[in-house]
Structure 1
Amino acid sequence: MTASLKDRTVLVIGRGSGIAHAIALSIREAGGTVVVAGRDKEALAAAYDDPGITAEEIDLTDEASIAALAERLGQVDHVVSTASARARGAVGDLDHDSVLMSFNVKVVGPMFLAKHFAPRMPGDGSFVFFSGSSARKPTAGMLAVGATNGASTW
């Protein structure tokens, strides 16, 4: 059985392109209200030309930012996160901060999304957290991305 998204509010976290963009437009087409969120609220707002899609700011590396968005939005029915901060490059070129940023956005951030949004969801609410193909088959230059994606498949 497929639940209707009509009159439901869905928070979509990620860039204003690619998978996040396609998800947001599909939800709108199904009658849902969409809130898109990311680190650059203005860029997100510019990526959508639909009065049923509003843009908000969130930093998945900052629990206070996540909690503040949950407070501003109140109840949401579903949360989808495609966010990433990919630490790419050969092992010798990786730096500590970019690897931690990648891990925090893809693994730790979704945990805090659940912490702050689950209490505001109805019983049939849901979370969808995207990983990536490099979790199963990393390629050269994608070791940190693969490790982060693998850790995010919890």
Structure 2
Amino acid sequence: MILDEEVFAVILALAIVASSIGIALTWRPFGERFVAIGLLDESCKIGVYPKTAALNQSLKLCIYVYNHMGKPIAYQVMYKVALNASQLPTTSAPSVAKPLGKWLGALDNDRDEQFFAFVRIPWDRGLLGRNISLVFELWVFNTTTGSWMYSGVWGHIWVEVVG
């Protein structure tokens, strides 16, 4: 059977429309790339955080990390103690406080992980009666440069140091 031009044009138009719909359904841009960190209580829930801590006391907290970078990542969470608000990190710079601990991990894209972190309040009598911030910064390994880069996200809680 020979197709006339009109039938051929309709078939061609349907093929183009079907191809366009197929491409639109299967090819989607990834969207915004980001990582996230959450600070949870000792039951891995939001809400009941310690308000006080003694010198050299070990606190049990839960850390949540999420990867939405479009590829697997290696990450590290750094624990620091900020003595005042000026020592807190920002979205562009990590805290100037020295690291007191770190946890390493790896996550595939669109995966998350929770883990327990046992952190100590430094033994420093100058901290007694002060409010300090327990800071947890998220760092990501940059495979291009071969170095750790601060992600710009962190979690922190304020506690009063008691005797």
| TM-score after normalising by structure 1 | 0.24
Higher-Rg structure is: 2
Q: Which has the higher helix share?
A: 1
Q: Which has the higher strand share?
A: 2
